[in-house]
Amino acid sequence: MTMSRWNPMSLPLLLVLTSLSCGYLPESERETLNSLLRVMVQSVHSSEGPPNPSVHLALRLASSHHLPTEVLLLQQLKMTAVEKVKHGEDFSSGLVALYTLAMAASCHNPTDVSYKGERIDLVEILQQKLTKEIEHIGKTTFPLSNYYQVSLDVLTLCMMDAEISQDIVQILIDAVMNDKFTYGSEFSVDTGAVAALALRCMIDRKTTIHISNALNHILEQILSRITDDGLIGNLYSTGLAIQALSVNSDRVAPGRWNRTKSVGRLLSGILEGSFANPQAASQIVPSLEGRSYLDVTRLNCAEDCSNLTFPVSSTSPPPTTQGLPITVEYNIVDGLTHSFSDAASVSVPGGSPLIRVLERARDLYPDRFSFSITQNLWGPSLTTVQGLTASSQNRTYWQLLSGSKPLDQGIGDYKPKEGEQIFAKYSHY
């Protein structure tokens, strides 16, 4: 691994540096992008939940910066990573990969992360975690986590110039060629996009394994998910897909993809309020900046512009306006063993997130609508309903639907409409 770019002092020293000409988007669109950056900066100061490495990565890949926030978040990430390892807490391979990329994007050496005298090597930990994923695929045909994370692991190790065995790359290639990137029967564009970045990195590293066919196959699948309005998959996979297609533009035939249209669709999504979740924001910022995760090790931290204005001092939350009450039909269904099915009509203020509907149903009928959630980078996910718990071992989850259409957001973000029929359906993936 090249050590010359790792400089533990670079970010704090640069707090004083400013510059006026930063960025890739035209001025009018830059303000829209800056509003996203502020969503992420705000989330660092709100101290809700654990620090988010994907947010740090996006802040670092942006061309406008609020450097004091980045310094703070980096410190929080180092502390959390060291504590997780020290206390043996849950640390999935993909999360380790994101932490590694976040450190590298700040020109800090991920092989030497220290906090209060304790030291960890994130790259070594990632190699061990990826080995476990591969062993699990050997035993069960599925990774311990999922192929999105396995792809992120390979991408990160490749970026860090760390050793990756040929067997591992071959397993990723086999997964691509055997169309393993599906949930239900749907191809996961997000997973394909991260795999395309990983395979591109491996090709640029000049490995002897034949990767080209697999990369072309995955790009073809991504291209086939482009819709008329420029989305690739859905609104939340488009940012990653733009990265994948951009870094592989030499393999995309002219006329197959209109980059400007896809970027324009993301910008209108921001204006519609669809990226208020900092994790969702973090996944589109790199592509709006004309960058990709492959740029992480090309960043010159000495050239950062600390030019993003952000009112850190104002801590008062924005005033909340309660909408008129709406009625939502909430259904819970065991779609696997058909052990139960139940429904209730509940009333919540208009504009409330779906979780308010679940809470209202539980408050009204505690014996029929109990549930529990798990917090992760995306916010709360619904894990248990009426004692029936999602299990990654059995590959079951509580799928969320409006009528028969799967939601593209979770219970913390989705805002049901008047008269909507919402289903939580215990399903396989």
Which residues of the chain form contacts with ligand B12 (CB under 6 A)?
92, 94-95, 98, 145-146, 148-149, 183, 188, 190-191, 233-234, 236-237, 240, 277, 280, 283, 376-382, 392, 397-400, 406-411, 413, 429
Q: Kindly state the smallest distance separating residue 414's Cβ from ligand B12, in Å.
A: 8
Q: Kindly state the smallest distance separating residue 327's Cβ from ligand B12, in Å.
A: 22
Q: Kindly state the smallest distance separating residue 365's Cβ from ligand B12, in Å.
A: 20
Measured between alpha carbons, how far is 182 from 189 in angstroms, rounded to an integer? 9
The angle formed by the CA atoms of residues 415, 416 and 419, to the nearest 5 degrees, is 160
Q: Kindly state the smallest distance separating residue 197's Cβ from ligand B12, in Å.
A: 12
Choose between 51 and 233: whose C-beta lies nearer to ligand B12: 233
Choose between 315 and 404: whose C-beta lies nearer to ligand B12: 404
Measured between alpha carbons, how far is 65 from 230 in angstroms, rounded to an integer? 28
Choose between 6 and 378: whose C-beta lies nearer to ligand B12: 378
Contact between 148 and 198 under an 8 Å Cβ cutoff? The reply is: no
DSSP 226: B
Q: Kindly state the smallest distance separating residue 244's Cβ from ligand B12, in Å.
A: 12
Q: Kindly state the smallest distance separating residue 318's Cβ from ligand B12, in Å.
A: 21
Choose between 219 and 281: whose C-beta lies nearer to ligand B12: 281
H or E element that contains 212: helix 212-223
Measured between alpha carbons, how far is 185 from 162 in angstroms, rounded to an integer? 34
Measured between alpha carbons, how far is 99 from 156 in angstroms, rounded to an integer? 10
Alpha carbon separation from 264 to 184, 223, 260, 289, 402 (Å, rounded): 30, 17, 6, 13, 27
Choose between 150 and 219: whose C-beta lies nearer to ligand B12: 150
Taking Cα atoms as reference points, which of 81, 73, 117 lies closest to residue 100?
81
Contact between 53 and 98 under an 8 Å Cβ cutoff? The reply is: yes
Choose between 71 and 373: whose C-beta lies nearer to ligand B12: 373
Length of the chain: 429
Measured between alpha carbons, how far is 284 from 280 in angstroms, rounded to an integer? 7
Q: Kindly state the smallest distance separating residue 319's Cβ from ligand B12, in Å.
A: 25
Task: Enter the tokens of residue 48.
Answer: 């809700």
Choose between 236 and 330: whose C-beta lies nearer to ligand B12: 236
Instruction: Indicate the residue whose CB is closest to ligand B12.
Output: 410
Choose between 102 and 377: whose C-beta lies nearer to ligand B12: 377
Report, in angstroms and rounded to the nearest whole number, the Rg of the chain calculated over CA atoms.
22
Q: Kindly state the smallest distance separating residue 303's Cβ from ligand B12, in Å.
A: 29
Phi-psi region of 230 (alpha: psi -120 to 50; beta: other; left: phi over 0): left
Alpha carbon separation from 251 to 200, 212, 244, 246 (Å, rounded): 11, 10, 11, 10
Q: Could you count the other beta carbons within 10 Å of the beta carbon of residue 405?
A: 9
Choose between 168 and 400: whose C-beta lies nearer to ligand B12: 400
Q: Kindly state the smallest distance separating residue 393's Cβ from ligand B12, in Å.
A: 9
